[in-house]
Amino acid sequence: MTRVPVAASPAFIERVRQLPSKFTVTLRAEPGNRFNHAAVAVSSGGETIGYLPPELSRRYFESLRNGPGVDVPGRHAPLAMHEDTGIEVLVDLTGVAVTA
| Per-residue model confidence as pLDDT tens digits over 9-39 | 788 888 988 999 999 999 999 999 999 999 9
Long-range contacts of 62-65, Cβ-Cβ distance < 8 Å, separation of 24 or more? 62/29, 62/99, 63/96, 63/97, 63/98, 63/99, 64/27, 64/28, 64/29, 64/40, 64/96, 65/29, 65/31
- What predicted TM-score, i.e. pTM, was given to this entire model? 0.89
Q: What is the pLDDT of residues 66-99, one digit of tens each?
A: 889 999 999 998 887 777 777 889 999 998 988 8
Name, in order, each residue with C-beta under 8 angstroms of 23's C-beta and a sequence gap of 6 or more: 44, 73, 74, 75
